[in-house]
Structure 1
Amino acid sequence: MNTDALQAALRPHAEVLRRHALAIDADPTSLHSLLGSGEVPFRQLSGLPPEYVDDPLRVDGEPLHIRTCLARAVASETLAWGDASVVVGAHGPSMSGVLVDDLGDDEQRDRFYSVVAGTPTWTFFALTEPDRGSDAGAMTASLSGDGVGGGLLQGTKKYVGNAARASTGVLFARHRPGPLGVGVYLVDATRPGLDATPLTTLGLRGVELSEIRLRDVVVEPADVLGRHLSPTRRGLLGAVRTFTRLRPVVGALGLGVAQAAHDYVVDNRRTLRVHERASLDRFADRLHATRTMVRSAAAAADQDPTDGTLSALAKAAAITLADDLTAAAPAFFGAGSRWEHPLLDKLIRDVRGLELMEGTTTIQRLTVARGYLQGRTLDVAIS
């Protein structure tokens, strides 16, 4: 894949997102106007399978289907330069689609994509729980029964993107103790007993993070993702491949935010002191190195999604860079700069949300350490 051509093709769409970024941050409901305006081809950029898109975008004459981890990483970084919250908050298969691709059978895959491709549809990915985060070992949302024959869902999920406006999504719940006791279920949001309400957030406001309360929500056997797979390949263990593919994409979102902050300083501080220029140059070097790492990790995830070491490293490095760069940017403009430069303020707030997506930096470091101790190579991440 020609990543430069893909990035160049998407840059005009990123500029559209930038023009709307502050308005959506002030009023997240204005996202609906942008999505319906036709200014950005969200449907073609959402990662739908080729058989569900009859009018794909084209790059260098070739149809563009953003399906690989590398393509998703390049697209996410480019568009996040405009507004990361819109990239995550737009309708489409999103994270749920990656999981359905990994675990769903043909019938489930068609059921999911027929809905998402037919009309503008939001989806949700419900793993995180209040007071427990994404720690699957502490998960309390439960499904009665054996996990494959259906049952009733009980519990609460929190900080779930787009859930209050979603039509369908995937949800993790425990049906018995142990690592094999967590299942993943394809659930329609309209089912009785499922109540999703939006939360008030400081950053990533376009994502409309929500809380889901589950009270006797019916799950049918056909809703069990991975029902055709062995117990060790479905549920949480099966979803590990999905997390490996998603972490470089979250890292790419952070990289896009970091690049946006760097470019904002360059564009709005024409005259720089020597130490300021040196600081920006160091950040530019880190951006280049981290981009190489993120894209190498994405390519590695496409080759072997069972090894999450590089994905964890890329996510941690990119979010750390984004945190450092967005925190440093206001100092280039003096006291009160976050009031006078609201885009910088938004970028700082958005990074905090990206830190929590797909595991915090501390969790990623533990994954990297475990991979290193197991002898997994990290050479590709810095090549």
Structure 2
Amino acid sequence: MTDVEFLTQLRGLAREFADMLRPTVLPVDRDPSLARTLLDSGLPWRQLMGLPAEYNPDPLRVGGRAVYLDKAVEQVTVLEELARVDAAAVLAQPGPSMSGFVVSELADRKQYERYFTRLAEAPTWTFFGITEPTHGSDPASMTTAVRPDGAGGYHLTGTKRFVGNGARAGIGVVFARRRPGPLGIGAVLLETDRPGFTGVPLETLGLRGLQLSELQMRDVPLTDDDLLGRDRSATRQGMWAAVRTFNRYRPVVSALALGVAQAAYDYAVEHGTRSTKDGRLAGFAERLNGTRTLILAAARSADRDAADGTLASAAKIRATRLAEELSIAAVDCFGPGARWDHPLLDKYVRDARAFEFMEGTSTIQRLNLAQAYLSGRLDDDRAA
């Protein structure tokens, strides 16, 4: 089986799974706490969460080939199809998500087993806590800190905001300052039932099922066993892992945005009037296909080298812009009150705008591309 044949069959399988999500789209959008009911939708969440092979004895199979969804190429293919039904449901599934990549990069064997054993044993949501209320994810301004408690352990204190699944998570990763300076940021593996830890859901307009949250930590007790990468050099700890994680997951975010864009396009084609959609949707089919090709290239690049986020940045710019433009164009295919009369369209418009703020805004991505060009990693043809 060629790679193209494999991905085509995988996409077809994902499309069948996506149909299982349709009954829950609007209910979960109205009440994000219903995301737990997604486990009863029939979707094989355990096979789709990206568990390592040793924790997934029954993986998906395509043409007899085991598929663990631990590669970006596989993830963008499957998750785009699921996002064509509900991107929020994709993000609201239990599993390792971004924190799993940090654990895979930094954890010792004991920490690795502690994290993935818990996820394999029962449905467990995870979190990736880096963004702070007033400083974003700027490491130089990070105030969440790990400090000695005077008895051989540590205390973790600080606040993280806009953390997906934070209020429902059982375990995750928090980035916190351990020392002054740019290399003083470390990563902490943390269960949410520790004393002093609180997760509070935030009100949002888009991707409501994700249940963005604020995490408050007040003297949360830690031990050495909670400090990820503690035996590594300072240049291979917290922010090193965070950058690699962003590069690795930007193609995934791009695929989710593309899924929303494709959903809006499909809805307008099916339900819009011919006189409006012929003009409003002109050129979007080609842009959808071109963006899909770019995302696949970015995913291949991320699988080869998570340190190079050049194509990932380009894909995210393209996909987020397309989702925003296409969702508005889809609404224009209908008359006044379209978003009221077509609640799915309204959801697509709201969801499309969320991706701009995930894994770095378009301004950050353009800076990444400029740095890549100036350093010689991006030639003139690729820059165009």
Check conservation: 1:162, 1:207, Cα contact below 8 A.
Answer: yes
1:294-321 residue CA offsets vs partner (Å, 9 max, x unmatched):
1101101111111111111111111111
Displaced runs of 4 or more, over 3 A: 378-383
Q: State TM-score, norm by structure 1.
A: 0.94
**1:72 Cα shift?**
1.3
Structure 2: segments with no counterpart, 5+ residues: none
Does the aligned pair in 2 maintain the 1:126–1:157 contact within 8 Å? Answer: yes
**Structure 2 Cα separation of the partners of residues 381 and 32 of structure 1:** 42
Write the mapping of 1:205-216 to structure 2, written as runs, cut at 5 A: 205-216=208-219
2:26 to 9, 17, 22: 22
Name the counterpart of 1:322: 323
Shift of 1:184: 0.6
Distance 1:373 1:49, change over 3 A: same
Local SS of the residue matching 2:230: coil
Does the CA-based 8 Å contact 1:143-1:173 persist in structure 2?
yes
Corresponding position of 1:311: 312
Superposed CA deviations along residues 260-306 of structure 1, whole A, max 9, x for unmatched, are 00111111125235xx4254241111111111111101101111111
Kept in 2: contact 1:164–1:198 (CA 8 A): yes
- Hey, what does 1:45 align to over in structure 2? 48
Paired position in structure 2 for 1:10: 14
In structure 1, what is the equivalent of residue 36 of structure 2? 32
Cα separation, partners in 2 of 1:94 and 1:19, compared to 1, 3 Å: same
Name the counterpart of 1:157: 160
Equivalence for 1:227:
230
For 2:197, which of 183, 194, 198 is the aligned residue? Answer: 194
Alignment pair present for 1:286 and 2:290:
no
Write the distance in 2 (CA, Å) between the matches of 1:281 and 1:4.
Answer: 26
Q: Distance in 2 between matches of 1:6 and 1:197?
A: 37
Tell me, what secondary structure is at the counterpart of 1:252?
helix
Q: Say whether the 8 Å CA contact 2:87–2:207 is kept in structure 1.
A: yes
1:61 to partner: Cα distance: 2.0
Cα distance in 1 between the residues matched to 2:381 and 2:74? 18
C-alpha separation in 2, matches of 1:364 and 1:382: 13
Shift of 1:254: 0.3
Q: What CA distance in whole angstroms lies between the structure 1 residues aligned with 2:89 and 2:197?
A: 25
- Aligned to 1:272, the other structure's residue is in SS state helix
TM-score (normalised: structure 2):
0.94
For 1:231-262, what per-residue CA distance to the aligned partner results, in whole angstroms no more than 9, with x for missing partners? 11111123221111011111111011101001
1:267 aligned onto 2:270: yes
What is residue 135 of structure 1 aligned with on the other side?
A: 138
Deviations 1:76-96 (A, max 9, x none): 211111111111111111111
Within 1, Cα distance between the matches of 2:36 and 2:22? 16
1:171 alignment partner, SS class: strand
- Conserved in 2, the CA contact under 8 Å of 1:309 and 1:367? yes
Deviation of 1:119 after TM superposition, in Å, equals 0.4
Look up the SS of the partner of 1:132 in the other structure.
coil
For the residue of structure 2 that corresponds to 1:22, the secondary structure is helix
The residue type equivalent to 1:12 in the other structure is E
Measure how far apart 1:377 and its partner are.
2.3
CA contact (8 A) 1:18 1:81 kept: no
Secondary structure of the corresponding residue to residue 201 of structure 1: coil
**Counterpart contact for 1:310–1:378, Cα < 8 Å:** no
Describe the superposition over 1:202-250 as per-residue Cα deviations: whole angstroms up to 9, x where unpaired: 1111111111111001121111111232211111123221111011111
CA distance in 2 between partners of 1:243 and 1:191 (Å) = 27
Q: Is contact 2:143-2:177 (8 Å) kept? A: yes
| In 2: Cα distance, 1:224 partner to 1:378 partner | 40
Residues in 2 aligned to 1:176 and 1:292: alpha-carbon distance in whole angstroms: 43
Letter in 2 for 1:214: M
Identity among equivalent pairs (%): 49
Separation in structure 2 between the aligned mates of residue 24 and residue 299 of structure 1, nearest angstrom: 33
State the distance in 2 between where 1:190 and 1:25 align.
Answer: 27
Matched residues, number:
378
The 1:5/1:228 distance shift into structure 2, 3 A limit, reads farther
